[in-house]
Amino acid sequence: MTDPKSASAGNTQVVRFDESDRGKRLDVALVKGTSGLSRSQIQRLVSQGNISVDGVISSKSATVLNGSETVVIRVPPPAPTSLLAEDIPLDIVYEDNDLLVVDKPSGMVVHPASGHRTGTLVNAVLAHDPNMAGIGGEQRPGIVHRLDKDTSGIIVIAKNDLAHRFLQAQFKERTVEKSYLGLVHGVPPSANGRVETAIGRDKKFRKRMAIYHEKSSKTRFAVTRYSTVEKFDEWTLLEIKPITGRTHQIRVHMSYLGCPIVGDLLYGNRRMVSDLYGLRRQFLHAARLKIAIPKGDTRIFNSPLPKDLENVLTQSREV
């Protein structure tokens, strides 16, 4: 196979196969012979009529190669999005041509969904950089990972398709290091620990996730590490490192330990610290993220505790 030209959004790439490719499936061979296209993307391009073999539009991803074909791949530009760009201020920690790192405030939803069509991080990002529309998906452009609405802190957004795949792969392979600060009720069973369970949707309350002791097709394995940072009379400040990235993982695991996140009404004690210190959300903050960026080096991004959370700690120390 000859080295293909780089494939990016809105261009054309030519791949010439040789004897070493004989007997391979078209989609499998193209994944190895293209720059940055996944197998599912190749299959989608085939179904859209954007891949031709020796001048004929291909209709089957499973076509077996004889080892002498010339394949032309057309990568169309991102589909126009129906999402609205909104001029919402962003606390930008870092930005280059490939990614945007934002310190997300509590109360901001990451992407539009039922009940949250506007005012999201995605709406703000589209106003900041309209060229990100459609990157990685029409409804969630640029989104690589998520934070809950009331969780503040570091979040990374991809600015092009190659960066999106590069960053997503690290989350999938668990090479990203994520560190949260969370204040929990009570004291964990040990000062430092590790929680390993299966997590799935709660059968009775669909907005919640639940712990399952038996794995099934509807659950996913989840691992969380934690260590004690500071102890108070009624709660404990933890550094929490999720190894996997399941929905509500930290909140579910802390509740499973009998130490729910302070202020978490979905999984925890309904008596909030707001009774004393004015807290109006869960005490969970994405404080640190270590990740390789497409430019080739590894970066560490940090976010200081927001004032509302720092105030809880200050007041707790004075009691």
Burial class (CB in 10 A: 0-12, 13-18, 19+), 80: exposed
The residue length of the chain stands at 319
Q: Is 148 designated active site?
A: yes
* Of the candidates 190, 181, 280, the residue with the CA atom closest to the CA atom of residue 239: 181
DSSP structure string for 103-121:
EEPTT--SS-BTTBSSSSH
CB 263 within 8 A of CB 273: yes
- C-alpha dihedral, 102 to 107 to 113 to 116, nearest 10°: -120
Q: Please pick, among 148, 150, 161, 264, the residue that the annotation labels catalytic.
A: 148
Helices (H), 192-303: 249-256, 274-277
Kindly give the pairing relationship between strand 99-104 and strand 92-95.
antiparallel
Collapsing DSSP to helix, strand or coil, 168 comes out as helix
- Catalytic site positions: 148
